[in-house]
Every structure is written in structure tokens, then in C-alpha cells.
Structure 1
Amino acid sequence: MELRGLNLFLFLFINRVFLSLQSKEQVLLDMRASGSELGWLTSPYENGWEIVQTVVNGTLFYTYSVCSIETTEQDNWLRTTFIQRRPGTSRVSVELSFVVRDCNTFGGASVACKETFNLFISEADADVGTNFRKGQFRKVATIAPDEVTQGRVLKVNTETKTVGPLSKKGFYLGFQDVGACVALLSVRVYYKTCPSTVQSLAVFPETVADALREVEGACIENAVSQATPRIYCTAEGKWVVPMVQCQCLAGYEATGDSCQACKPGYFKPSVSNDLCQVCPDNTKPSASGASECLCEEGFFRAPSDPPTSACSAPPSAPRDLTSMTLPGEGKLQLFWSPPLVTGGRSDLMYSVVCKLCDEASCIPCGEKIRFEPGPTNLQDPTVVVSDLDSHLNYTFTVEAQSGVSQFSAERPTATITTALDYTDPPKVTEIHLADRSPTSLSLSWTPTRRPPAHINHRYELMYRRKDDSTEGDVTTYKVLILDKSFVQIDGLLPATTYTFRVHALGPEGNPGSYSADHEFITSPLAAPQFGNKPTMVMVAVFGVAVILLVVVAGLLLRKRRLNARRRGGPEDPYFSSDQHKPLKMYIDPHTYEDPNIAIHKFVTEIDPSVIGKQKVIGVGEFGEVFRGVMKIPGRGEVPVAIKTLKPGYSEKQRQDFLSEATIMGQFSHPNIIHLEGVITKFKHAMIVTEYMENGALDTHLKGRDGEIPPYQLVGMLRGIAAGMKYLSDMNYVHRDLAARNVLVNGNLECKVSDFGLSRVLEDDAEGTYTTRGGKIPIRWTAPEAIAYRKFTSASDVWSFGIVMWEVMAFGERPYWDMSNHEVMKAINENFRLPAPMDCPSTIYQLMLQCWLHERLKRPRFLDIVNFLDKLLKSPESLKTIADFDPRVSIRLPSTSGGDGTMFRSVAEWLESIKMSQYKESFARAGITTMEQVLALRHEDIRNIGVRLPGHMKRIAYSILGLKDETSSLSVFAV
């Protein structure tokens, strides 16, 4: 009777459900789609599983049910037909739809009733027919319903199990009933594939989705890559992390998923994904597929010019070349104007050539002539020429040059012939001693340039005894006027130093500049010989002087040390005053033999009477977390957060619970969560901390995209970095730094919290801490910490980079829905999270520095704080936005709803991009189809009623992704 009642329920259910389910999966078995006898075996043949036939709308459907609850130890089996496994498929998904009756509805007959059944599998290389043996099956899972059916309203359950690994050619599924009242409505066996697709101009074949699999592809026609294109196929049938990008050949540009030849008049010079460009100026029209546009006649490109530059002509000759004599020794300055024709180039340079010419020939001026700044590569139309002779005529030739001058046979130049106007006398720089005696000195000198033949130079020589000066510091010189450049001066004193200076006189007596002073000494008179006594006296005097210097130096050094000790100077830097004391180091509470000693040493005990609970705000590892108040003298009632220890705890749980407070009690920093104290002398232990109104950072940021400007986000990151620098300075590693473990108060100040995974850094060579096991937050943990379970401040820096990404992505989950295995594999293959939308380029570059694989190359928290301070002092540095791919950072959906067709509704699309709050706004605006969505422009989105900038960008970028998408599945690329 109960079985007939269950079959009636099945009939009612089948008439209500929608059977036409569409899917992209490759189906191996579909019980519901079968239109004939299923042929499944039952054991025992009677009183076990029973097939039920039902006709709905003229179509025959089969279901299996069993309801043997009268006796115990039921063992009823149902076996499918042989299911062929596709080669390359090692795992399949089994989707079950079933109904289970509540055992309580059977009254007294429910003593042997169960509410579960078992799923088994048996592999085989061939169909064994009706040869059914239970021992060949292995158990996959116990199938339990989420809801049981009590009345006439059926509670249909759907359960999907992954079965594998599979190795043989096929398999059977077995269903064991051990005493339940169950109806098996549908069994569907399928596997997923990543469909054939074109990504980054590479073709990838359809691939069986079996865990994370690397797939090789090939570049499309007219595209190449340096390495074989590769991409990963996930177990969910999605393409992720393409590793190599193909690029169109020279002369071709990317158009959709193909490389098309450049149109006539356009060109592309290299292998790249750039678009074809219009041929530049002064070039011939190009043919289709051109990689270069050739220059017209008379125009050229320099060897350093890229093919994208315009062709240019050589410059004409410089104009208006003139000269001017400069004051000084043989200096002349040349001036000229730029040429009328520059050829359209900006690399115009000039060169100057000097020659001495007569009626017969010209010869180079030689190396004596100097040019300032030089004779070639002159950027300004002027040059200074020096060391010229005043009696010669010089011919100067100036040529304008550019990068294409070498290709022209004509070299237009400007020429001028000129000579110095002799006005100033030459300069004398050196005076030489030719001979000396006790009473005379013979001197000579040479002027810096040779005078013209018709001019005779005269010189004025001045000299004096070096120590000869009158009262009032007025020095008396003797002056000689000479016609020659040498002289012998007599009547001098023996062994005496004399100072000399000389200058030339011009034709009209005008003086030139004086030479520098030169000192010469006359010879001493011959001295009588008195043996070695003077030498002995000198040595003795020198020795006494050395001894006195050593004694004085010793006394001064001793006095200096005594003074330093009295005032606490450099000899005693750490103990002279409190301000020189080093930062205290963290002490691991686990090193205490008695944990209670550590608790009382570092934590304040609070009287339970001053604490009042108000509301549960969360659940921690050990119990509930309350918002409450604490009465503090002088401050009144202060809001606090109260962590409680749930009833029935063990002593070890109590010690673990209080150890976090022992850690927090050692910290005092504005960006570390402040511990008020603990309650241990009460039935239920409590930890009391400051209350952070806005809760966890990741939760606070979600949904606020566009509300918080980048400058304020950087300020929040600076606070987190400052807190981590404080911990690092104390030789302490956090191990679980993530946005969920950072709390935010009402002023948007961020404070590091949750020290449950934290440990002190051991005092060893590398400053590392090796864990003894336990969970590791893979998405936030550095690769060396995952691989070797060794943690340093450098691994905390990696985690801080992930926190930066979370903040700039407004609480987005790092690595999206990739599995932990996929995350680890991608990181080891140098994949890094892409820049979030609207992320400043400087911030993203800092993230990449935090994610360097070699930990010693990552910045320290001190460096990070200083860098963020500089950005906050220069807000304009945050205006440059990092490159952004919306298909990466937003995880845009495909244009299909998962079954290869267009999204069935606008509401479904909005829900997929987490913008479902605008469903009514789109409906009021008349946007009811996806075709209308694709036609929306930026101003249309605003008119619909989307006002927040972040929401506008998310919707706009989603539409952009829908337009660009060419496959039926969404992908994300790097």
C-alpha cells in the first residue's frame, strides 16, 4: 500500500516538472531521456527496486522506487546497463534526482526505516550482461536527502557526485537500498569539456575537463608566437590562464579572431598586435599587406628611423655666416642662421671646418686650433674658435647635417674668410728660471701667441723680495720695461726668495693681463764646514718635540673619555637615556611552562562587573563574539568587542583561546587591534578588545566600488603597512594577513587583528619559523611558505600584496573561483593577479614587487610605508591607471546562460555580474532583451538610473566583454 502511495506521488511530480533540460555536458547516460525499457537489473528480483512507467503528454517515462521497510537488514540492488567511457576521461559526474519519504510518516512500521541509500560503481572492459556480483562494486558515497517528503507535496532532492579515477573501457552504477522508502527519478552521467575556442589569436581544440589540464594550441593563419600557445582547461570546463599570445605577421592586423592583410595605403612593420597605420608623409602608396612604405624620390629615412616615421630631405646650407673677434687670446666667434630647408627633421646638426688658403691651395688649420664646444655635432648655430694667430687669414666652412645627409650627393655649405682684429696684447702664463747665482737671476718667458711681423712687443716685469713690505701692508715692486722676452737681474741678496710677475704691452702701451706670481731663490753663499754637530742638534730637538706631542695627545684623549662617560655620550649610547633604548622584542607565550604565568604577565584582568554584553555580531573559532560596553573610570562606557569561550571547553581549548590575548597584550600600536583585557576568574573566559564599527575590511569594501576614492584606499593600506612594520620590528610574523583579518573603525582606520595563526620569528640566521602542520591560507600565502612551511616577514609582505589587491578590487576574492590546486600551479608558473579596475599603476607595481618569487628581493615593510607616504604626499602620482582587462578583473560571464544560448533574461545577466539591484530600473526603461543590452551606450546606462561610478563601470565593462566575446564560455586571460 505504501509503495502504491509513493508511485502516486511520482505521477503527480512528473506532471509538474519541466523535463527539457539543456546542458553543454557530454552525456553518457540519461535515464529521463530514455524512451524505452531501461534494462536495469534488480536484486532481488521481487520485493526490491520496482520500475514505474508513467505517460506524460504522450511520452513514456521510467522511474525506479523501493519501499521495503517492514523488516530489517534490507539489501536491495539496482544496477544500470554498461556505460561506455570516452578515452581520455578519467572522471565523470553522476547527477541523481530522488525523493525520500520521512520515516515518521509510517508510524509503527518505521522501526526498520532508513532515509539514505548508497551509490556504488564497478569498472569493466566489456559488458558482462546479467552477470551481477556485488563483490565487484566499490562504494562511492552514501546519498542522503536535504529534504524528506512528509505529505503530498514531494520534496525532490538533487545530488551530484564525482566518480573517478576511471581506467577501464566502461562501468556500471549500482544503487543499494538498506531500508529506505525512496524513488529514483533521474540518473544522468556526464563529463564536461572545454569547447574548441580561439584565444589570443590561437586555436585550442575541444578538451575533456579533468582536473586542471594544460592544452597546447596553434596560432591562426598569418599569426606566429615565440613558443607554443598553451592554456589550461579546468575541471568545470572553463579555459583559464593562457600562457602565450600569438601576434599577427608584419603586414597583417588582428580583426576579431583573424589576421587580415593591411589595406592599400596602410602598413604594419613588425610582428605584433598593433593595427595597420596610414603610410607616413613623403612615401609612395603601398600595396595590400605591406610591411613598409617606401620613400618618394629625393626623400630618405635615417638608419635609426623606424619604418613608421615620415621620409625627409637633407637640409640646405646655413645662412648669414658672420664672425666676431672676442676679448682674450686669439678668440673668434662664428654665427649663422639655420637653413631655409630643414627637411622636416628635428635632428639638425652643424659641423665647422677651418682651412688656411692662399691663391694656389688650402691646407687644414691643424690641431692647434680649438673649437668650443667642438667642430662637429653642434646643436646651436654658433661656435667659438680659439688659439688663432693674429697675422693669418682663416677660411671657415659650415655645413648643416641631418640623419639623411649621407644619402645626398650635394653638400650645401656656407663659407667665410676672416682674420683677428689685433687689439689686445698676448698673455704670459709661465716664467722660467734660466740661471741663478748668489746675487742674480736669469729669467725668460713666452707669450701665448705670436705677434704680427710689423708689431714689436714690449714687456713690463715687476719683482720684489718675498718678505719686503712696508707698514700698512703696502708692497713695493721694482719695475722693468723690456723689449725682449728674457732678462738677467743683478744686485740681489744671496739665498733670498723673490716674487716675479710679467705682462705684455700693446702697440699703444695698453697692458695685457699679468701672469701669475712666480717665486725664485738666489743661490746661498758657500758655508764653512763644522762637522755633524748641527745635524745632531736638529735630531735631538725633533725627538723632544715628538715626545711632547705624544704626551699631550694622551692627556686630551683621557679627558675626552671621562667627559663622555659623565654625559652618556657615544661610548654608552643605549643606557644614557630612555630615548636610546631599543624596541622591545616579542616573547612567545608558548615558551612558558605554565601558560597562566604568560597571561598574567602580559594581559590585564578585568572585573566582570564592568562588562555588559549587548548583541551577537559574529561567531569565532571558540565561541560567539558580542558587541558590548566597558565602564572605564574617567571615560564612561566605551564600546568593546567581547570574545567568549563556548561551554563544555577543555583545558587545552581554554589555553588556546587565551593565548591570542597573550600575544595581543604585548602590542601597542595605532594600527594593531587594542586589547583591553581578559576575564579568566569567571565561569566563562572572555577576551575584550576595542570595538571596530565597520567590521572586517573585505566585508566593508564589498559593494562600495566607486564610493571610496583611490587616495583614501591608499591611506588605509598605509595604516595596515605601518602595523605590519611594527610587528616586523618586533621580530614577529603574522602568517594570516588578509583583508578578513583587518578591522575598520568609524574613521576608516585599519587595524591588524586575528593572531590565531601567528608565531614569533626564531632568532636564527634567516629569521624563519617552521610550522608543525595546520591549515595554510593558500590564496594569501607566499610560495616558499606553502612549499616548505617556513614563514618570514617576507612571506607577510607577499600576503600584504594580496591585501592590496583585495582593497583595490573592493573585496573581490583573490584568484576568483580557482581551486587551491589551480592557484598553486598558476603561481609556480609565474601567473600573478592582474590589476583591478581603476587601480593606480604605482600601487599595482608595488603589488608585483611584493609577489616576487625570490623573497629576499621583496620590499621590507619599512620600504612599503615610506613608498606609500610619498604617494600620499603626491596625489597626482595616483592618477596613472594600470592596464585593465575587464574579462580578468570582473570575471565577466559569457553571453550564454551556461547552455550555449543567449542569456535568457536581462535579470539573469544582471545577477551574474552582481548588479541585480537594477533589475527594476532596466525593466522601467524598457530594456528587456540582451540585444537591447548590447546596444546600450554610457549615457544610456546613466539614464536608466545607475549613478554610482563603480556600478556604471562594472555594467559598461560587462557589456564590452559581451560584445568582444566569440565563444559560448567565458574565459579570463592575462
Structure 2
Amino acid sequence: LPSFHLSLPVCPSFCLTETVMDTRTATAELGWISFPANGVRTMCGYDENLNTIRTYQVCNIRFTVRDCASIPSVLGSCKETFNLYYLETDRTVSEGIKGVEYWANAPFLKVDTIAADESFSQVDFGGRLMKVNTEVRSFGPLSKGRGFHLAFQDLGACMSLLAVRVFYKKCPSVVQNFAFFPETLTGAESTSLVIARGSCIPNAEEVDVPIKLYCNGDGEWMVPIGSCSCKAGYEPDNGNVCRACPQGTFKSSQGAGLCQQCPLNSRSTIEAATLCGCRNGYYRGDMDRPEDVCVPSAPRNVVSVVNQTSVLLEWHPPRDTGHRDDLSYNVLCRRCHSNERRACQPCDDSVAFVPGKRGLKDTRVEISKLRAHTSYTFDILAINGVSNKSPYPAQQLSINITTNQAAPSVVPIMHQVSSTSRSFSLSWPPPEQPNGIILDYEIRYYDKSQSSVLNSSVVQSEMPNVVLEGLRPGTGYVVQVRARTVAGYGAYSKEMLFQTLTDGKWLAGVCGGVCVCVCVCVPDMFSGPTPTVTFPTLSEGHSSPGVKIYIDPFTYEDPNEAVREFAKEIDPSCVKIEEVIGSGEFGEVYKGRLKPVGKKEIPVAIKTLKVGYSERQRRDFLSEASIMGQFDQPNIIRLEGVVTKSRPTMIITEFMENGALDSFLRQNDGQFPVIQLVGMLRGIASGMRYLAEMSYVHRDLAARNILVNSNLVCKVSDFGLSRYLEEDTSDPTYTSSLGGKIPVRWTAPEAIAYRKFTSASDVWSYGIVTWEVMSYGERPYWDMSNQDVINAIEQDFRLPAPMDCPVVLHQLMLDCWQKDRNARPKFPDIVSMLDKMIRNPASLKAGTNNVAPGPSHHPLLDRGAPDLSRVSSVEDWLAALKMTQYRDSFLGSGFTSLPLVTQITAE
């Protein structure tokens, strides 16, 4: 209950009082209990306005009361006061009626001794105007629920209690600063301040919080804190009402502003509009303000002129550019297999645009190097601040053309297959764009030391290979080739140098910029004619000599057979488990020791299969061992063996001291020079090149699945994702609209959309790993959701370069993230690029984007030109190259004779 007041107060107009009792309105006996019973009497009297009231009167002494101050001798016994008491109760009024004795001894609490503020004059109640006093007292707070009793105690004088009014105060409900505050009771004391929390009125929003007012002891609101204001689409009306903007107007932001009329070429068809939408054919850009006018952005009247495999496009600018002066044009090229737009795909990077295809200021572009007899669609986009708001086809103008016949493209490269002192055999892949049926090839060659292209020799071949004969021993020849169709010859390939063998001598030769080959002739070691030495062909898409092809263990009728074939069974007594280092998909991962019989003890990582597994879980668990056991490469995690004949079932691998690459980088943020990071990336790329050569697609290449040993060697691990592709999951890292697990942030768009997993999709993932390494383990795409990542990639968003990342490395990432998977580099290309960066550290400075030009060099030939004329063994040859320290490595690898040395590959 609130505190109560006794008085006849005068309140301000904004103060509310609730009256509990007012004796002035009583017209009959009040029925109050008095003690002693005959000491108090009720009588009719008059108030100060001569209104008839019911009063209580007591006179216990029979002398006239004078001003106490005028009778000094009786000061101690003269009384002008009475006492006010109250008593709380938990009972109703009817339950609370008791005898006089109870009330005489009840535990009343004293409120105050009440005295008049001046003396009374002797008056007659017969109608004379008398002077009365009104006193106000407060008491409380009250805690009992039923109510309270009041008691008035006479102290010995004649007195009349004319009227009693009991009331409490409250602050009324109010709307202030666009916030509503409810009716609030005052505090117990006159100085109390009661906090009232406010809430914004309809269609208003908070500006400052908290929103509150204070209710003081007099029932007045004071000290406003916080406020609300009308939200966007609503304007203030009559001070504390937020009114919706009518149709044809808008208000774009919260605040005190008023609704505005829609700008030119826009409209609002609903109330409370925050933005006026542009009319059909008009647009507003992201950077434009809501009050800016809408303008058009479509080019007009495109005209094309086709000349064989070139096309000239011209067009007119938009009819009206509005107030904008930032107009430019982009030209999009798509190659189509039919007339349907869905059958089109982006043009190859080889297509040439003059003066360019982006940011054109002129309304003209010439496009060349298209494919013959091919349909193309060109979209011309007028780009300005509003272009991205324009839906197809309003923003862009499209035209379809079909090219005419053209000559074939350039043959990309040639390989030397074999060589003698008088001839060599060459082969080459067909042109990437034959533009028809290849009729034949023309090969042009000349002696580099004595001739020039003006007096070269020419031969024809119907096949993509040729044997050039009648050559001079020990001579370098420059060779070019071109293809011919019914449209004529294409351009010659780039010049490449090939070397014949020298009679009776050893030579070091160079295969024109593609690979380095050791050309050997051994006349004194063989009887008979000079032997023909065959060189390895290192062409893209072929595995290196000796590399096996991966076999999927799930193709076995009994998966256990694959485990027996590819994984070594280890006696569990040789395995010692030491400590838990993590948990995997199927159970705990431990650090331990492996002590094979007769061999040195080594540290190992041990994956275990948890108790209660199903047969399918056991099969899936061991499938990773069946996969891993097929690999043997320094940058692939090495399988030591498995334990399948006792429990727990284990997979045992080499131990990697520094754990997962992502966490290792986060723990060592900024601690490594860029060239060391590139070295780590080179190791990962080397491992992935090996997997690609084995026709194995990883599907889950990420920094978390790269392990790092104590020498900072990075090794590819975790070969178990293939099993996830048949299962659904709620893991946010692995989602797919088609069901199953896919690591979205690391996966190429074609793999997400169509489950098209290839080495090209692994290259995309490698680009993400490169970004993770250069950002020291930052999460790709930060806190974006998987669906936002998918949408962003579809809209050609790519991750920006991490801090201090060399431009050349970010360009490598962007190449890996090409939407056209055929345009992405292959892993051998990536290894080659990283090798060039390592050999040329200047290219790794932040802000540079150049790798040292020139062909790749073989380390055996970077040491100068040794005298190889007198060597007769591998040891002599290494000595001539000043590489005797590699003798054991060569012999241990099987290169025990000079003819075998000729089979050395770049690996």
C-alpha cells in the first residue's frame, strides 16, 4: 500500500489523489469506537464554509482553555494537542470489530502529536463563523493487505475533530517524448522519487535508453531520461502521435522529420513508405539517397559486324542518363551451344577485346580470337551508380552472332620424344581451338648456329608428330609447327630449341623451355650402332613415370580385402598408447610409440574406433587406411599400418608434432617470413600434384586437414570425406542443398551445385588454403553463413588479399577461384609457379606482381657447362657436375648406369 495522508490538501492540476475516507460527507452517526465510552460525543457542527458536518467533541475538564502561553503557572498541565495513531490489519472491517478494551490496548503506532498552529477563540456553535485549523500528516508504507485503523487520542483539552480525510497521491499516466508512462504511486516520504519505466508509443522507436520518468512525493512527474521518436515511414502529429505517411510520400529514417513527396520517376503505393520505388525503366543506385530521382541505365540499338572469327559491336548510349555523369560500359561474352541462354558459358580468357571489355567510355568494341562456326551472345551493360539495380534485360542490351570459318589456333607446345646424332623425334598436342578438321601440320626448323628463319627447312605431317632426319650431330635446331584446316594455316608455335647427340661424346641438352633432359650417347660402352635414347614426356594430364593410379576401396566387393591389400597389419604389442591429443569422427586420437620388430621406436598418431560401432562404421573407418596406404610421397601423411585383429581397431600414422596447420598458424601469427609460408604452400601443392597424378580427388582440402611436423613440413591428411557424400548432417561447416556433407567455404561452386568433384575443384580448395596460410589461420569468409558464402561466390565475390600478402600470391588465389574450372591452373603449374617465387624472392614483396621470367631450369644444369666428354660411369658424371655428394642417392634410387640416368624426370 502507498503512504497515506490526512488533510484537506490542495493539489496541482497534474497531481492525482485517491480518497479512502472523508468524514465531511457523512450525514449520520459515524459509529467510531471511543474510550472511555462516555468521554466523546458526536454532534452536528459547521465547517469554515458553514457547511453542516458531523464532528467529534471531547471535553474532559471543566475550565476554559486559554492560551497556554498566557498562564505561566499552569504551563505543565495545559494541552492544545492530540495524538494520531494507526494500526495495520490483515482482517476485514467486519472481522476487526472488537471490544473497547481491545482497542484501548491495541499496538497502535504513533504518527505524530498534532497541534494547532494558533489558538482558538471561544465561539458558539449557533452559527458564528469559527476559525479552524487543517493539518496534514503522512504515514506508511503499509505492508498488510486488508487495511488499517486510525485512532485519535485526546490529551486533556476540549477539542473538536471537525473532519478527517484519508487519501494517497499518484502521478497520472502520461505520454511524453513519444513514450507512454503508466499511472504511478508516490513514495512513502515527501522526498521520495519513484522510477517509472516508459515504452514507446505505437510506430515509435527508442532514441536513448533507458526511457524513464521520476514520480515525486507530490504526485508530479520530473527528470525525464531517454526518449523515443517516430520510426521511418511515420511522422509526428499533435506532439505525441506517430502518423503513417500517406501514399505518394515517404520518410526514410527515424526521427522528428516529416513525410516528403516522392522524388521524380518514383512512387509509393502504400502508407508508411520508407522509400519510393522507381517506376518501370527507372532506377536508383545503392549509393544514391532515397530522395534522389530515379534514372534509366539501358544502352540502345546495338549493331554487329562479323568478320570470320572477329566481331565489331557498336551501340547508342542510354536515352536519358538523368543527373549522372559516371557512365561507362562493360561487355560480357558467352559461348553458346544452342539458342538457349542456359546453354551458354563464359568465353575463354583467350578472347581479345579492343580497347577492352570493362570500363569503356566509347560505344564501340572489337572482339577477336573467337572460335569458328560458334554462336556467341554479347551483353552490353551501361554501368553507373544505378546499374546494379537494373534487372535483366533493362540494364543490358544483348546480341547473338555466329562466327565464320577461321584458321586453327597455335599449337601450345612440343615435346622431344627421342634423339640420335642425326635425328630427333618430336610430338605435340593438337591446337586448343582447331576450328575445324586438322588436315595436316607444317614443321619449320633451322640450324640455330648457321641459319635463320629465312632459309629454314619445311616438312609436312598428317599426324601430331614428326621425325626430323639428316641433321648434324651435336647441333641445336630451332623448331616451329603450325596446323592447317580448310580455312588455311594457323600461326606458327613459339620457337623451341632441340639438340641432336654428338658422335662419341656426352652432352647436356635442353628441351626447349619445357623440361630439362639429359641427352646421352655411349659409343665405347656398346657394340654396334649408336643407340637411340628415349626421353620422358612431361605433358599435362599424364602421370609421371612410375606413378600408380588410385583404386577406390569401395569398389571391392569385400572392403576388408582392400585393407589387407593396401595397409600393413601391425601387432598390437608393438603399439604403446601414451596420451589423448584429440577426437575424430569415430573415436579418440592418441599420441603413442610404435616399436616394430628389429626397428627403431618412432612416435606415431593413433586413431581408434570407439566401442559399439556398426559394421558400416568399421568399414568407413578403415577405408581411410585403404586410401592412405596407396600413397607414398613426402607431402602426404604416411600410413604406418592398422590393427584390425584385436580391439580397439586402430589406424597408425606418422606423428606430426605441430598438429593442424590452421591452429598452428593462429598460434604463431606473424612469426614467419613470406618465403617460408610459400615453402609450406609448395609442399601442400606438391602433395596435391601427386594425388592428382594418381587420379585421386581429395574433396576436403583445408588448412585444418594439413598437418605440420617439427621441421615445418606440411603434409596432406584426412582422406575420409568421400564417405560423407551419402549422409546428411547438421554440421554447419559441411552442408549441401542436395544433402550430404560438403565443406562449403572450401568447395568449388560446381562441386556444391552439381557434386562435380575433380582435381580442378581441389585447386579451388587449394586457393582457399593459400588464403588461410597468408592470413595465419583466419576463417575464410569470416562469420558469413554458408548460404551467404554460396550467394557471394555466385555473384563473383572473391576473398581479398590478406594483410601484407604479395600480389603475386593473391593472383594465384584468384586463378584458383576461376568460375570456369578449365581455366584454373593445374597442380603441376602451381608447383612451378611457387618454385619461381622461391627462386626469385623479390617477387614476394608486398605490392609486386611479377615472377622472374624465363623457362624453368633443372638444378643439374644450373651449375654451368661441365666437360662431359670423358665420363664413363654415373660417378664420373656426378663428379663432372660437382655433385658427388648425391652418389648414394642416385645409386640407391636405381640410377646405376648412364642409360638409366637419361630417364631422370623433373621429379
Compare CA radii of gyration and give the structure with the larger one. 2
Q: TM-score, normalised by structure 1?
A: 0.33
Larger proportion of helix? 1
